[in-house]
Structure 1
Amino acid sequence: MSRPEGVSTDRPWVLQFCHGYDGPFLDCARQYAALFAGTEYRVCTVYLTGAPSAEVEAGSASNEVIFLDYSSREVRGLKLRAIRDFKRIAASRDFKLCIAHRFKPIYIALLGSELPVIGVHHAFGDYRRRSRQLFANFFKKRLALLGVSNAVRDDMRACLPTWPAGRIETLYNRIDVEAVQAEQVSREAARDHLGLPADAWVIGNVGRLHPDKDQATLIRGFALALPELPAGSLLAIMGSGRLEGELKALTSDLGVADSVRFLGQVANGRRYFKAFDLFALTSDHEPFGMVLLEAMAAGVPVICSDCGGGREVVAGVGRLFPLGNAEALCTQLKPLSRSESSPLSTEAALARLHDTFTDGAVVSRFWDIFRRL
């Protein structure tokens, strides 16, 4: 456990407890710490798993960062040692509240302290197990739940039907638009880095090569549309995973292997979103879709499967198609590729980004939840 020395304890603190900092979860920690900027509260962010990292510490936007450095194996089962560590941290200063991301940190925080807990859920199904329903109901008086989309919120409400609606609410994921845009390189530099032709019309997709992301429908829809897309059009898929071989075989079977680029895992991938002319997310019940926000920040039009949290992100500013329907996706792609057709409004998307998916957009809603606890 790593902790800076000499940290002041004369102001009230908020304890943020995260499972880890992989993937989008470092930015999730930043998002919640940022809500306390300029207030009387200090934020201590604790990572259950993950080795100490100066980069993570800087990215957490917190007054203090603690790395418990557990492995995933060590936090299976009862997690008694982690509960003891959490109890020591919770007793170390004047904490008023714990914000815990995902179920394991919520479990540890409730058993390891008497603090009120805001549990933030980033996925579907966290309370479908009977044991978790019983646990949540036992701690109902000091637990409030947030879903990262209305879809996640509604899934939790269905699993916990006796809870008042006001104890299970939505607080959207968000980005620092200016910081993300400052990272993003030009179209030319992005295409050079990704090895994409300068003059091709390119559809981009970012995500694990996993059934949940349903790149198979994307490939099928692209293959159907390709004869009517501009000459040399490409589909560029950024990510890695267990379906890579299967998806590459699908491109061969459909005769589009030369028009689909598998880019693999790209470090800081959102820096290169301007390489795309259109961003497509075909996920099966995506809880939210942070990549949609990053594409919108890059000024790239977006199209998304009409399910989960993704539809909430692109509502009114992007296109939707029925989940798993390659023919419908094809129908959407063809006009979007033609310059004479009305393009999706990137200006409207950017306005929606600022109005709904930034820290400033949700701060009053969060503080209302905070005060009720």
Structure 2
Amino acid sequence: MTASEQATSQAQRWVLQFCHGYDGPFLDCARQYAVLFKGTPYKVCTVYLTGKPSAEVERGSASDEVIFLDYSSAQVRGLKLGAIRDFRRIAASRDFALCIAHRFKPIYVALLGSSLPVIGVHHAFGDYKRRSRQLFANFFRKRLSLLGVSNAVRDDMRACLPGWPVERIETLYNRIDVEAVQAEQVSREQAREHLGLPQDAWVVGNVGRLHPDKDQATLIRGFALALPQLPAGSLLVVMGSGRLEAQLKELALELGVSESVRFLGQVANGRRYFKAFDVFALTSDHEPFGMVLLEAMAAGVPVICSDCGGGREVVKGSGLLVAFAQPSTLATGLRECAEGLIDTQSSADRLSLCFSDQAARERFWTLGWLSQ
């Protein structure tokens, strides 16, 4: 960097985004928050606490600068003194207006390693149930504000931090770049060919870890109940891997539907193939949000979701909500989908209105936590 460029950089106001890592959905989380500042006077520097340097991650971060601290998970246990020193050095390197930190560990490092205002973004339930975390948040409450990815996560934090003003714990929904996701998604025919699915089958799709929280057992039971009334040759297709795979396969065998249930395992860039589905069903228990619902909506696929957690906020008014862990109500919902009773136009409208980058940008600036 030349002396002139350095002077310009130092005069420029910046936002420091601090992420634990970029695995799974968290690279797109970094992108989501970086683009909030598109068209504003601010530049964004994104720092990853863990993870090797990667040109692909740099491009996906949508940031003006990306820094990889390259710590291992073991190195950031306990007091994280090395990470705090590194963060302090970065925070002092230019004129940062604030820090946006994702998940508790980066919030902890950012507050101890700088005097910046910190916006802590939480993607899960229960982050402040521990008394030690409540004490920590209360100690730094003058310069800490909190965002939940859904009203359900927000309300969970408010319940754990009852002394906080409600306007300091708010919601900013997860979102997608709708046009970019749609451009990525291949046609129904291509998707089915890639996934090895018959072109003429009626297909129920599910994407997620094979884990108790995702409750694919209810999905299989509901599908088995509905199958006699579904189109001939209907399939349930599950993308994902996890410790319950053998147990779920055994359940499908016990219910006599093993020939109609396909376990595809982990599918790289799975959202590219959502048009393979005739309906997308998510039966999770207390899902904090449910990004896969947005990806299904972007594909124009009708969605069914269990009526709990953040998923209800995504689907309400634009899909079908069914009682959690109730196979019979799910079976009824699948039959309604097969009869074409779910309108996907309302999903497209809601996606644009509530869960797009533009909608999030407008919502963020109304919070008044950083004035333009």
SS in 2 for 1:199: coil
Q: Which amino acid aligns with 1:364?
A: E
Query: What root-mean-square deviation, in Å, do the aligned CA atoms of Structure 1 and Structure 2 show?
Result: 1.2
Q: Is residue 336–residue 342 contact of structure 2 (8 Å, CA) maintained in 1?
A: no
CA distance in 1, matches of 2:276, 2:369: 44
The Cα of 1:343 is off from its aligned counterpart by: 2.7
Query: What letter corresponds to residue 256 of structure 2 in structure 1?
Result: G
Partner Cα distance (1:58, 1:318) in 2? 34
Secondary structure at the aligned position of 1:35 is classed as helix
Alignment match, 1:352: 350
**Is 1:322 paired with 2:320?**
no
Whether contact under 8 Å (2:240, 2:267) holds in the other structure is yes
Matching of residue 141 in structure 1 with residue 142 in structure 2? yes
Task: Name the TM-score, length of structure 1 as normaliser.
Answer: 0.96
Deviation of 1:20 (Å): 0.6
Q: Deviations over 1:83-128 (max 9, x none)?
A: 1111110011000100000000000000000000000000000000
Q: Distance in 2 between matches of 1:72 and 1:210?
A: 22
* Structure 2 match to 1:283: 284
Residue type at the aligned position of 2:75? E
Structure 1 unaligned segments of length 5 or more: list them: none
Deviation track 1:309-366 (CA, whole Å, cap 9, x = no partner) reads 000001101001111111111111112112xxx4311111101100000111122321
| Residue 39 of structure 1: how far off its partner (Å) | 1.0
**Alpha-carbon distance between aligned partners in 2 of 1:35 and 1:370, rounded to the nearest angstrom:** 13
Spell out the pairing of 1:127-206 with structure 2 (5 A cutoff). Answer: 127-206=128-207
**1:280–1:177 Cα change, 3 Å:** same
Q: Which amino acid aligns with 1:15?
A: L
CA deviations over 1:248-294 (Å, ceiling 9, x no partner): 11111111110000011000000000000000000000000000000
Deviation for aligned residue 1:62: 0.2
Confirm or deny: 8 A CA contact 2:44 2:64 kept in the other structure. Answer: yes
User: Which deviates the most, 363-372 or 17-26?
Assistant: 363-372
State whether structure 2 residue 249 is matched by structure 1 residue 251. no
Task: Give the whole-Å Cα distance in 1 for the aligned partners of 2:70 and 2:198.
Answer: 43
Output one character per residue of 1:35-79: Cα deviation in whole Å (capped at 9) or x when no partner.
101111010000011111100000000000001111111111111
Contact conserved, 2:302 with 2:337, CA < 8 A, in 1? no
**2 CA distance for matches of 1:368 and 1:87?**
29
Alpha-carbon distance, 1:370 to partner: 4.6
Aligned AA (1:284): D
Secondary structure at the counterpart of residue 172 of structure 1: coil
Question: Normalized against structure 2, the TM-score is what?
Answer: 0.97
Look up the equivalent residue of 2:96 and give its one-letter code: F
Partner of 1:68, secondary structure, is strand
**CA distance, structure 2, for counterparts of residue 192 and residue 309 of structure 1:** 33
Q: Is the 8 A contact 2:224 2:255 kept in 1?
A: yes
Q: Number of aligned pairs?
A: 366
Counterpart CA distance in 2 for 1:237 and 1:356 is 27
Paired residues of 2:31 and 2:61 also in contact (CA < 8 A): yes
- Check the 8 A contact 2:45/2:64 in 1, yes or no: yes
Following TM superposition, by how much is the alpha carbon of 1:237 offset from its aligned partner in structure 2, in angstroms? 0.2
Shift of 1:368: 3.0
SS for the counterpart of 2:10 is coil
